[in-house]
A and B are shown apart, each in its own frame.
Chain A
Amino acid sequence: MVREREQWATRAGFILAAVGSAIGLGNIWRFPYVAYEHGGGAFLLPYLIALLTAGIPLLIMEYTIGRRAKGSPPLAFRALSRRAEPIGWWQVAICFVIATYYAVIIAWAVRYTGFSIGQQWGDDPEAYLYGEVLQTADEPGFVSSYVSGVAWPLIGIWVVTLGVLAFGVRRGIERANKIFIPLLAILFLVLVVQALTLDGAADGLDAFFSPDWSAITDGSVWVAAYGQIFFSLSVGFGIMVTYASYLHRRADLTGSALVAGFANSSFEILAGIGVFAAIGFMASTAGLGVGEVLEEGGIGLAFVAFPQIISSLPAAGDLFGLLFFGSLVIAGLSSLISIVQVVISAVQDRTGMPRVPAVLVVGGGIAVVSIVLFPTGEGIYILDAADHFVNQYGIAMAALVAVVVVAWMLRALPTLQVHADETSAIKVGRLWLFTLGVITPVVLGLMMWDSLRGELEAPYQDYPGAFLAVAGWGVAAGVLLVGIALSLLPWRQADQLVRVHGDEGRV
């Protein structure tokens, strides 16, 4: 018997969940840094072009693939062609890996929300992070020591995430995001207002928005802009396909994609304003240039530079810390929920398992791997290597393969166009075919080339070869092989689950 698929209660609920998934840690700690490094204000031009010519078109494609088949990524790609099913399983395997390490960063943010009260990191936040909090081992390697101060919040994150997922799409994911997203917007707005009142905030904004137009002619700036849009929108690894599979058959797709895409960028720009206002203050207090304060993005920006800024605030440092790290926790949680849901929905489709047992078995399995590997002295090295390789040779590679297969091998874009246009107020038109058939594959191909070239020049972070072979290349190859292997297992009920055959153009 085919079970009735869950559905979002409202259109706003779906959009909030999609926005919650897209807005993650990268919006807060990656975007401001990438923008500053690549021409400041001038970066925003390629960034906006990338949003319109790759980000939103990809979102529309994934929404359409998911809603059309009403299935998880393996089923949705199989509905396009039996031969495309491995792409779906590849994406599911990628989500499994990402969920294991993404959760631990949220666990650090939970601890730092607490540390903000009284600025417990002291005078040297860097030593505090790596020494006290993470107890980082001297050398990259595999688990040798356990860090209970990270393990406990991590267990808490998994209990919350699996608890939300156990309530299902409507009562769990939708309801959680209806709380998370407005709360995140309020927290972050208060944070930005507080940052803008600091001395030196205008210098920070000046550094962020001043255009260096010579950057526009540099190809790597364009690749960085497309990369930022691509990684920030949660496209390419099955989340949007999965979320759209819970839409009803007459839901508007292109309008929702526009709102989700622009909402993500709106938050990103707001984050850039908040981060640079704070950095401008720090630079003026320390008598340094903005570039000297902002040495790196990512973990260093959030857990080293921000604690320094918070400690030097003239007043209300505790509040600023609570707002900043609380925002990280909420932004991260709503993304983690979406990543885990991809794996759960695929296993549910594949086995017919009811929701709660699937959450316990599949979600519990991911949680166990996460808790075993990452709250350890070596956790940050494994996280760093797995993140880099699974991003470049998992997400980006799978997205490249997906667009090439959908656009050129299956020539399925016109079919998807009909499907999207049928229920959407804004019709996608020929330009959509061009952006997905030409622009997106070319840019993703360039990103891949650029990245592979870097890999061949020097080992990533100069980590030992044996370590990279397992935690880096091994993980990237592993997700692909697992994806292919899962697609080879016989799946007799699949064709019963896919209900689009012969249904195209007749909704």
Chain B
Amino acid sequence: MSTGAVIMLIVSILVVWGGLVAGIVVLRRHPDDPRDEDRPPPPSR
């Protein structure tokens, strides 16, 4: 593979897979607010 191809391979993988990982990390650090009037009541046991 040419150097240009290797660089573009690495850059595109870093950007999209990096973006995916970063998005997941942000979401995990910010769980949804449990104060949720829409959520149905938990099932009764």
How many Å from the CB of B36 to the closest CB on chain A?
5
Task: Report A211-270 residues with CB < 8 Å from chain B CB.
Answer: 211, 248-252, 255-256, 258-259, 261-263, 265-266, 268-269
| Chain B interface mostly | helix
Q: How far is the CA of A381 from the CA of B7 in the complex (A)?
A: 41
Q: How far is the CA of A366 from the CA of B26 in the complex (A)?
A: 40
Q: Apart from A11-B27, A249-B36, A266-B17, what 6 extra A-B contacts exist at CB < 8 Å?
A: A41-B12, A44-B8, A44-B12, A209-B6, A209-B12, A259-B27
Closest to A260 in B: B23
Residue from the list A248, A255, A265, A266 in contact with B39, Cβ < 8 A: A248
A44 partner residues in chain B, CB cutoff 8 A: 8, 11-12
- The count of residues in chain B whose C-beta lies closer than 8 Å to any C-beta of chain A is 31
Task: Report A1-43 residues with CB < 8 Å from chain B CB.
Answer: 4, 7, 11, 40-42
Interface residues on chain A, size class: 35 or more
Residue from the list A206, A265, A269 in contact with B5, Cβ < 8 A: A206
A210 touches B26 (CB 8 A): no
Residue from the list A252, A261, A266 in contact with B30, Cβ < 8 A: A252
Q: Using an 8 Å CB-CB cutoff, how does the interface string of B4-30 with A read, 1 for contact, 0 for none?
A: 111111011101110110111011011
How many Å from the CB of B11 to the closest CB on chain A?
7
A7 touches B5 (CB 8 A): no
B45 within 8 A of A: no
- Supply 14 A–B pairs (Cβ within 8 Å), ascending by A: A11-B27, A11-B32, A44-B11, A48-B15, A51-B16, A210-B4, A210-B5, A210-B8, A250-B36, A252-B32, A263-B20, A266-B20, A269-B12, A425-B26
B35 touches A250 (CB 8 A): yes
Given known A4-B40, A44-B11, A206-B5, contact A423–B27 (CB-CB < 8 A): no
B35 touches A426 (CB 8 A): no
Instruction: Write the residues of chain A forming the contact surface with B, with a CB cutoff of 8 angstroms.
Output: 4, 7, 11, 40-42, 44, 48, 51, 202, 205-206, 208-211, 248-252, 255-256, 258-259, 261-263, 265-266, 268-269, 423, 425-426
A259 touches B24 (CB 8 A): yes
How many Å from the CB of B12 to the closest CB on chain A?
5
Residue from the list A41, A248, A423 in contact with B8, Cβ < 8 A: A41
Closest to A202 in B: B1
Q: How far is the CA of A262 from the CA of B23 in the complex (A)?
A: 8
A7 touches B38 (CB 8 A): yes
Q: How far is the CA of A278 from the CA of B43 in the complex (A)?
A: 50
B27 partner residues in chain A, CB cutoff 8 A: 11, 252, 255-256, 259, 425
Residue from the list B1, B26, B29, B38 in contact with A249, Cβ < 8 A: B38
Q: How far is the CA of A266 from the CA of B24 in the complex (A)?
A: 13
B9 touches A205 (CB 8 A): yes
A248 touches B20 (CB 8 A): no
B23 touches A7 (CB 8 A): no
Q: How far is the CA of A202 from the CA of B1 in the complex (A)?
A: 6
How many Å from the CB of A425 to the closest CB on chain B?
4
Residue from the list B7, B8, B32, B40 in contact with A250, Cβ < 8 A: B32
B36 partner residues in chain A, CB cutoff 8 A: 248-250
Q: How far is the CA of A259 from the CA of B30 in the complex (A)?
A: 14
Q: How far is the CA of A11 from the CA of B44 in the complex (A)?
A: 22
Closest to B20 in A: A262
